[in-house]
Structure 1
């Protein structure tokens, strides 16, 4: 069986919560400034061989000493050994972090399908096992969903609907001589929104632009406190009608404040904003609808996409049809980079003034991508939120190790509920008491009431089980464990609460139990004592099992079938829900094996795991 060391999943969390997470060990310091740097060679490939001495860093033109240096390589995480199916822990290093922001407020309705297709393409082609993925829409007050379960975010992409009226965006105005759509609005009676930094003179477009900026700001501020790593926000938009020059000239507008906070959080938190116009080249045919848009030489809103990407150390993917190459580059830049830390030699008298950052390299033919500025005041603001509730953390917290194996199981009151057996620690002192909290969050960001309890440590670990009634659907589980004075852990899991009466059988996972002191106890880690018997139980959703031949088989690594286990008669536990039991006699197997349920010789979704008898 693969070692239990991989990342599991992240969770849907409201954007108002920002918390620290487990990260690489970087020496902390109140004045330490961290900069993630992407190094690209002339041929477009990443330069993976740079050393500390290859970098020079400057603040406001003054050279700074590199105090910290680390090569961050997340490419191998997907290939690392992972927890067996159905088991989730906080042991592994997270992969890349991608937050997709679908700007349905600033995409024409006729381009909805194209935006959906483009976002799905990135998810399907670039997101790997172990990567954290979130999707949020600007047109609804929704939370950001961070998860490694792509099936959880696909419905959000499918629900996206462009809302911008083409008659509003046709009034965009740019510099003199720009070629813009020919249809215009009569703006003689309109208020002057130029002081707000908004190009479009229509009130609806102004509101849409402001809302998009606010939602983008929330995403960036949510990701910013995740320390010592690069985070990527992918903004899919036709362009936000916001003029950065006008923004810089008027510091009293609401738009100014929103943009200021957005840029400050992005720069301080190493959040790179990649802006993507799904329309591709001006005048090119929409590959989804077949329509040909009005040719545009320069769209002021698209210019904002370019400016926003440049200001945050990202890239603008606009006026191009080469999405595959652009997406591959985005993914590579966020899986391999250099993390450089320095302590400013002179903060000066102003603690709030933005400082310019420049990183150079001695390596010939190499260009660098990084954020260009930071503000000490913004650093303080980000640090101020670092110690909030750990259970709201975007990523797992691994001070205290946690494993859990959630499974749909018959409920004592009838029907089925979610049973969450867990194991905390491994070499804990025997007199410790562990406090735990469990929350389930659905795809809308709505969470259940926290379930709390305490469990004593025995033989180096604390074991327990929590039950929770949930409506059918997909959820993110967040399990927090704490030992006073010893640390906190948070593990995250994806679960599917079964919908009764499915057409074909769907499984809610395996519950494995081995006797301890004469009492069957749930096994979480899938490491089993070969000298003791194993009880196997599962719940299936199916309209009818009369014409279904079920088989529970044990296979060796590589697929060779070792044995077929006897199955008990399915017992109805609710409408369209069935409980099935089996067992593995003591001294039957040794070493690694795969346990899988078959229906008419086909694998049943949700009923596969890996075992290790040792």
Structure 2
């Protein structure tokens, strides 16, 4: 292929500086004049971790002519050159995994927490693997064929200390969890189901583009899988320094669909496509294919760059084994076009593997032997590091050549790296951003509380009541229906029970639904209040329940305090006028709005002997001020903020409300999201 030639040179690992220094200093390396110590298994010394803008790390796999690993070399046996110029090796380590000693050492510690994961990943004898089950690029049927080799790999090839995570293209990076529980890993593999060329949406994210053209959806799927590869590499790179492996189960990326599958609406196969099943459809031109390949390989280069920075290799496994056809016979794709597509898709797997120092396990029915090679590569290698004498900041590719002085040995190492640009260096060396203030983080946490799957939104606020009591207001709203998801019973009312710490009932009663939910208020003594909410359907059946612990402030004794800000939603000018005229209107429990809407925020501040001065600011999610907000107040009444959202970009924001008197100040924050 035209673009495969220049991209065969791979980007590799130039390291970015860490955000924070390591918590512990690793043990020092032995002097260069001495051979590396070979400690007993389980006591292997971790490599020195050095980082910097110009520090380059490369791992080298050395084997003899029979393919047997050679692990008795010293630092003096290696030479490293960058763009033909010799480099000084500054760090050197031999990584060798003794599986027999691990098996004899008894059971390994289970991974039950983030702390366990980080501690175990830092051990040099632990190998790390991510198995990416690329359901977007695996056909139905091929998924069944690959399950057995993967399960045998889990059962027979892994050492007791090995850590494995299984993910899909849409798995969030935060959900990538490593495990030693072989049964759970096998169970996850058993559930693998390919969806190649099947565009029926399975979640709200896929619903966003399900009705795009099939060619567009295929490009989106390519990008999602590539982002998953990058995310997995970054996740593993944050856990350890040494070599890491991603096992990509995929049939390869499709740069261009044939006319027979290029449906105008992906979720409606064949609709509006005159070439569906027609073997006489015109094939794509060379120019069209070249442009599509160019876009695909440009995206793949970003994958190479990220994985090599994180010292992570891709082992691409084609589940079809010895593939003969790319498309099914009933799809009507011509033999020549089918052969070209099969070759192009397999080339994407080969390029991914070769440019990350991995292997492409393709065109073979015996996948087990290829899986064994993955283990061999991760079981013995050399980890070398040097500071580039050229210190490039040109953003260009720089070739690395690793060689050994001993004759008759084969060396596999990364071919090079893409240097940082001047802008990259400036960003990396810039001081870290200040941490988010605690008040901002607390407000955003309330915004991030999960609501999916719940039948109603709830909000609770406090204000000054009568005779020293605290007025507690409760509001609930039914959750809107989500298209494409099954709908449960509609909520008809919420039963609220408020109790004091001594078990005394403060309030109990149903809050029926009004035009947009319901609200209720009651007075409670200052102190702890437990609120229990039971959402019921029209026939009294319990749909949902929750408990909230509330601290009712003593507004009569504090020098200065602010009640809970109340947010009201208006969709037009008439609704806004009605809200401003009605001081008893119920606030909204929602905190996600669209740019066509308008907010009214009311807030009360209390102080003894004087009227507090109120001000308000708009903040971004980092806590930085964006603008001062006009706050209108009549005499000593509540302050009001009129906030149109038409000029807001999609994102999360906060309203900071400050009250001030001669004796002190107080603050409240309200977080909300724009983008619906």
Q: TM-score, normalised by structure 1?
A: 0.47
Q: TM-score, normalised by structure 2?
A: 0.43
More helix by percentage = 2
**Higher RCO, 1 vs 2 (CA within 8 Å, ≥6 residues apart):** 1
Return the index of the structure with the highest Cα Rg.
Answer: 2
